[in-house]
């Protein structure tokens, strides 16, 4: 199935411009992350999160007044569908050495029972994470992502018989993850376990997209050895364009539905996936491909090692 029969777009003609724009976005995203711009969910920071269900439709202002008495600065928002009558309350971080981690949650529930007695709490659930556990989970999440990037570099380099391919794919995926994190920071989405799952899904998705393109480049290299590499890669992008539109387009519509209709629990996951699909598709064409072309051009000016590595993929 093909949407475009014989596309002939000059994708690599915009390669330098796109690389420059991406470099600025990556630097900005790294700056946001390094400066503490990320907002961590309760899984990765110390704190308490309560989901409280009331017997009647809750009044957020009255709930805020009751909670502020015992926990100033708490985050309060509606949770789920309106008919569920649920409210999410996230109170401040725990301190090192604090023994009773449930004290904050108990104080909030007691304050609600006293100051909002006309609408009693029908049910509640509490999620508590101490500071040590939160820091450990953050460290493991970072390690898991870095290990994934490292082993994919090794595999692709082995599979295509040259480090240029693995390096290009890994740089593209790193670009995708960093920019997604930067946008999560800009729009103040919390980094939760769902978002980490989205980022790891993005790693696999982006790599798969890049490998499909690289495999077509390898096929064209076998059949058209005398043609310049930039033209071969550009032709390969055009040849796989219909596949990209179909697979990535349907995936995008699915995750867009999750983002728009998935509710607060899946909102961060959906946002990360929507951004990831768009940025991952872009990076395959405008990051991974120009890097391969640049690598070969630099090698041809020097020892020629890079060119032999590209030919080794045949």
Overall pTM > 0.85: no
Cβ pair 259, 270 in contact under 8 A: yes
Predicted pLDDT of residue 139: 81
Cβ–Cβ under 8 Å, residues 176 and 205: no
Tell me the CATH architecture of domain 47-129. 2-Layer Sandwich (3.30)
Domains 12-41+133-311 and 47-129 share a fold: no
Domain ranges, ordered by start, for the chain: 12-41+133-311, 47-129
Please tell me the predicted confidence (pLDDT) of residue 255. 94
pLDDT in tens, the chain (314 residues): 556 677 888 988 888 899 899 999 999 999 999 998 888 877 677 678 888 999 999 998 899 899 988 888 787 888 877 888 999 888 866 555 555 567 788 888 899 998 998 898 888 888 776 556 567 777 887 887 788 788 888 888 888 877 888 889 999 999 999 999 999 999 989 888 888 889 888 888 888 889 999 999 989 988 888 888 889 999 999 999 988 888 999 999 999 999 998 877 788 999 999 999 999 999 999 999 999 888 888 877 764 444 554 555 54
For domain 12-41+133-311, the CATH class is mainly alpha
Category of 188 on φ-ψ map: left (φ > 0), alpha (ψ -120 to 50) or beta: left
Region of 161 please: left (phi>0), alpha (psi -120 to 50) or beta. Answer: left
């Amino acid at each position: 199935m093909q949407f475009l029969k014989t596309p002939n777009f000059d994708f690599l003609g915009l390669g330098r411009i796109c690389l420059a724009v991406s470099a600025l976005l990556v630097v900005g995203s790294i700056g946001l992350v390094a400066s503490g711009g990320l907002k961590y969910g309760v899984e990765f920071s110390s704190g308490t999160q309560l989901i409280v269900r009331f017997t009647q439709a809750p009044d957020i202002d009255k709930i805020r007044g009751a909670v502020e008495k015992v926990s100033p600065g708490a985050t309060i928002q509606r949770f789920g569908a309106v008919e569920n009558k649920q409210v999410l309350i996230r109170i401040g971080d725990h301190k090192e050495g604090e023994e009773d981690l449930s004290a904050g949650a108990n104080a909030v529930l007691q304050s609600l029972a006293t100051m909002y007695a006309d609408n009693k709490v029908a049910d509640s659930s509490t999620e508590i994470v101490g500071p040590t556990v939160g820091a450990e989970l953050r460290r493991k999440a970072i390690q898991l992502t870095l290990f994934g990037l490292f082993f994919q570099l090794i595999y692709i380099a082995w599979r295509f018989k040259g480090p240029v391919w693995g390096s290009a794919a890994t740089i593209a995926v790193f670009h995708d993850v960093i920019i997604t994190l930067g946008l999560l920071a800009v729009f103040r989405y919390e980094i939760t376990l769902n978002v980490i799952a989205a980022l790891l899904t993005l790693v696999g998705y982006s790599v798969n997209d890049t490998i499909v393109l690289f495999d077509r480049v390898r096929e064209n290299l076998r059949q058209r050895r005398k043609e310049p590499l930039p033209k071969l890669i550009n032709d390969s992008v055009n040849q796989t364009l219909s596949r990209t539109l179909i697979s990535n387009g349907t995936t995008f519509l699915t995750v867009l539905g999750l983002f728009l209709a998935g509710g607060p629990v899946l909102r961060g996951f959906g946002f990360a996936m929507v951004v990831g699909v768009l940025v991952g598709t872009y990076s395959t064409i405008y990051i991974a491909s120009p890097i391969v072309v640049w690598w070969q051009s630099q090698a041809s000016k020097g020892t020629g090692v890079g060119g032999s590595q590209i030919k080794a993929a045949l």
